[in-house]
């Protein structure tokens, strides 16, 4: 586990390097001859509060996802001492399967309901489930596994909402949102620190609860802007 967070950081840096040397087609909304310096585009993005809120939401979402999946086996062994590592690992496999099922169901729901509204609901449910996991026991373990279903729509929904209306800044905006996956390294380490300070892995689940709260606030703000 101690090599997990640095590995994520290396992947993010490698992805950033790939983006830096890759030639992308110009966005259809970009006017001829309107290409400014790349740094100017990033500077413009940093001044867009709605967009930067989306980057932050993605950072915290990925932190919650990676953190929950990284600590699930240890959490199961902690609340059910007799379960054993092999059986606990099956719970992680189950979580991944639930996540995949959630993607299909979520895609169908997104075709009928507003994405920001649905994500507000799902993030609120996951706040409650994460806090249940703090309590431990079988109920806490079931709640932690169940978070995977409600996480399933978050990454693509945040991605789409964040890029809305960026026009010629879309390429730069997409790259910054992708790099927000560094949250998986940073917040997983925060979970480990909190767990060590509290002396129990259950306390670490306060971190994903906070992460989902950030996602819920972003989704609610995006919903308000969309209806304005």
Q: How far is CA 80 from CA 53, 60, 94, 142, 213, in A?
A: 38, 28, 17, 12, 28
- Per residue of the chain (228 residues), what is the pLDDT tens digit? 444 444 555 555 555 554 454 454 554 444 444 444 556 666 778 888 888 999 999 999 999 999 999 999 999 999 988 888 888 899 999 999 999 999 999 999 999 999 999 999 999 999 999 999 999 899 999 999 999 999 999 999 999 999 888 888 888 888 888 889 999 999 999 999 999 999 999 999 999 999 999 999 999 998 877 544
Q: How far is CA 106 from CA 100, 115, 136, 151, 160, in A?
A: 10, 10, 28, 10, 14
Q: Is the pTM of this model over 0.75?
A: yes
- Measure the CA–CA gap between 156 and 167, rounded to whole angstroms: 18
Instruction: Give the domain 4-11+48-227 fold.
Output: Growth Hormone; Chain: A; (1.20.1250)
Helix, strand, coil percentages (3-state) for the chain, rounded to 5, are: 85, 0, 15
Q: Which residues make Cβ contacts (< 8 Å) with residue 10, sequence separation at least 6? A: none
């Amino acid at each position: 586990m101690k090599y997990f967070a640095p590995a994520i950081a290396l992947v993010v840096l490698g992805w950033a390097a790939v983006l830096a040397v890759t030639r992308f087609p110009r966005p259809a909304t970009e006017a001829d001859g309107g290409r400014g310096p790349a740094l100017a585009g990033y500077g413009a993005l940093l001044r867009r509060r709605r967009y930067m809120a989306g980057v932050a939401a993605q950072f915290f979402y990925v932190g919650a996802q990676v953190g929950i999946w990284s600590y699930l086996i240890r959490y199961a062994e902690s609340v059910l001492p007799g379960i054993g590592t092999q059986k606990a690992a099956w719970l992680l496999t189950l979580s991944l399967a639930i996540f995949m099922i959630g993607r299909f169901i979520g895609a169908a729901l997104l075709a009928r309901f507003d994405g920001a509204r649905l994500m507000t609901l799902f993030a609120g449910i996951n706040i409650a489930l994460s806090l249940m996991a703090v309590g431990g026991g079988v109920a806490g373990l079931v709640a932690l596994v169940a978070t995977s279903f409600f996480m399933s729509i978050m990454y693509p929904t945040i991605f789409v909402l964040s890029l809305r209306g960026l026009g010629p800044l879309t390429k730069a905006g997409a790259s910054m949102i992708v790099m927000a996956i560094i949250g998986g390294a940073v917040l997983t380490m925060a979970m480990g620190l909190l767990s060590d300070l509290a002396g129990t892995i259950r306390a670490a689940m306060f971190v994903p609860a906070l992460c989902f709260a950030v996602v819920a606030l972003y989704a609610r703000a995006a919903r308000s802007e969309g209806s304005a």
